Homo-oligomer: A and B are copies of this chain.
């Protein structure tokens, strides 16, 4: 699967999943994001890197926040961006996904940013686009959300530098979370010392052990001496049936409060992919407290997406130059 993501020279062409990517590549993404990060603080937050390129946001699943960060990233790279809400477009006239895709591609599109409720959708699209088109996965079902994972890694690196020394805990609904899957893969690849997942049995995957992570069902034990706590959003909308008793009960057991936070290292940072459910996954005092880096994650999301977009489209130029 993963060979689809790289060119023959090992450069990023699509960005579909963290799985199978080498540590050097993840580090390159973060190094590039570091450069773009400084641009965002300037008076003129724009570079002409992707001028004349056409990027289409294909959001089959609604997400204003994620779409906005990709749109902003593209605009700050000077690309032309089109937002296509696919539910209301030609597919409603009975056209198949592939026909829609081939049509949009025929408009000399350079990149599709894809969000879809089905796992594997971005991969499927990447398999069917022309060689000159890149695909970025902006979240597919329960499978992967690689740009979210990379902005999280970037945020951790900003605060903690050396990954092998770290103990990182991910708390919540690991089972349904594409964010958690991608995070665990990225943390592993970057050589994080110890990765823990904390949650009720019903929300942990059966193969947790094989993921190379340590499993905890008890918050107190799981948070002991960690450097990073990643709380996950409780995906009420994704959960079916009575896996959970109530938001209140969840908060009592797994909500991150100031008391529980004290079990971690004193300089532990607190993360959340957002949007947060205050009083469910996290207490407001913690979300807004001095150890929270939740809004930094949003800021870094732009820089990381600029990095991934420019790397993927840069790989084409080199290919074209090579083949020319």
Contact with B along A32-43 (1 / 0, CB 8 A): 000000001111
Contact between A75 and B80, CB atoms less than 8 A apart: yes
Return chain B residues, CB-CB under 8 Å to A159: none
- A65-B93 Cα distance, complex, nearest whole Å: 11
Q: A64-B90, A277-B94 are in contact. Are A298 and B44 (CB under 8 A)?
A: no
- A206-B253 Cα distance, complex, nearest whole Å: 55
Contact between A76 and B84, CB atoms less than 8 A apart: no
A295 at the interface (CB under 8 A from B): yes
- A100-B298 Cα distance, complex, nearest whole Å: 11
Q: A52-B43, A64-B90, A94-B277 are in contact. Are A103 and B295 (CB under 8 A)?
A: yes
Contact between A106 and B296, CB atoms less than 8 A apart: yes
Contact with B along A82-104 (1 / 0, CB 8 A): 10100011100111100110111
Nearest neighbor of A132 in chain B, beta-carbon distance: B41
Contact between B65 and A103, CB atoms less than 8 A apart: yes
Q: What is the minimal beta-carbon distance from A248 to any residue of chain B, in angstroms?
A: 15
Instruction: Name the interface residues of A48-82: CB closer than 8 Å to any CB of B.
Output: 51-54, 62, 64-65, 68-69, 71-72, 75-76, 80, 82
A3 at the interface (CB under 8 A from B): no
Interface centre among A52, A76, A320 (most CB of B within 10 A): A52
Q: How many copies does the complex hold?
A: 3
Contact between B276 and A107, CB atoms less than 8 A apart: no
Return chain B residues, CB-CB under 8 Å to A42: 52
Contact between A275 and B95, CB atoms less than 8 A apart: yes
Q: What is the minimal beta-carbon distance from A106 to any residue of chain B, in angstroms?
A: 4
Return chain B residues, CB-CB under 8 Å to A276: 95, 99
Q: A46-B51, A76-B80, A298-B107 are in contact. Are A64 and B88 (CB under 8 A)?
A: yes
Instruction: Name the interface residues of A102-152: CB closer than 8 Å to any CB of B.
Output: 102-104, 106-108
Nearest neighbor of A93 in chain B, beta-carbon distance: B275
Q: Pick the contact of A99 from B43, B90, B275 — CB < 8 Å?
A: B275
Q: A53-B45, A94-B277 are in contact. Are A298 and B99 (CB under 8 A)?
A: no
A317 at the interface (CB under 8 A from B): yes
Contact between A107 and B277, CB atoms less than 8 A apart: no
Q: What is the minimal beta-carbon distance from A78 to any residue of chain B, in angstroms?
A: 10
Contact between A44 and B40, CB atoms less than 8 A apart: no
Q: What is the minimal beta-carbon distance from A310 to any residue of chain B, in angstroms?
A: 14
Interface centre among A72, A108, A278, A301 (most CB of B within 10 A): A108
What are 25 A-B contacts defined by CB distance under 8 Å? A42-B52, A43-B320, A45-B53, A46-B80, A54-B75, A62-B88, A64-B84, A64-B88, A64-B89, A65-B89, A65-B103, A68-B84, A72-B82, A75-B80, A76-B80, A93-B237, A94-B275, A95-B274, A99-B276, A100-B275, A102-B295, A106-B298, A106-B299, A107-B301, A108-B302
List of 5 A-B pairs having minimum Cβ-Cβ separation, nearest first: A44-B52, A64-B89, A106-B298, A95-B275, A46-B52
A residues whose Cβ falls under 8 Å from a Cβ of B: 40-46, 51-54, 62, 64-65, 68-69, 71-72, 75-76, 80, 82, 84, 88-90, 93-96, 99-100, 102-104, 106-108, 237, 274-278, 295-296, 298-299, 301-302, 317, 320
